[in-house]
Amino acid sequence: MPKFKPHKGMAKRVRVTGTGKLVHEKTNNQHKFEYKSSSRKRRLHGTEEFSPAETSRIKKLLGR
């Protein structure tokens, strides 16, 4: 039986917390900040948890 390999693209974008939750960086937070308002940039700070519907699908891709 072949060895299972996690989806590397998803593994780079998702972090698993100590309690097993899946978190990701918010979108639109990489470049072109000169065109974004200060309030929008503040709102994009930090990480966000995945919805329960997405969590099961992503865990399969990560092999958990």
Q: Tell me, yes or no, whether 3 lies in a domain.
A: no
Global confidence as pTM = 0.78
CATH of the domain at 17: 4.10.410.60
Ramachandran angles phi, psi of 25, nearest 5°: -70, 150
Contact 44, 26 (CB under 8 A): yes
Q: Tell me, yes or no, whether 25 lies in a domain.
A: yes
Report how many domains make up the chain: 1
Distance CA 62, CA 51 (A): 16
Distance CA 26, CA 29 (A): 6
HSE at residue 27, side-chain half, CA atoms within 13 A, is 1
pLDDT in tens, the chain (64 residues): 888 899 999 999 999 999 999 999 999 888 999 999 999 999 999 999 999 999 999 999 998 8
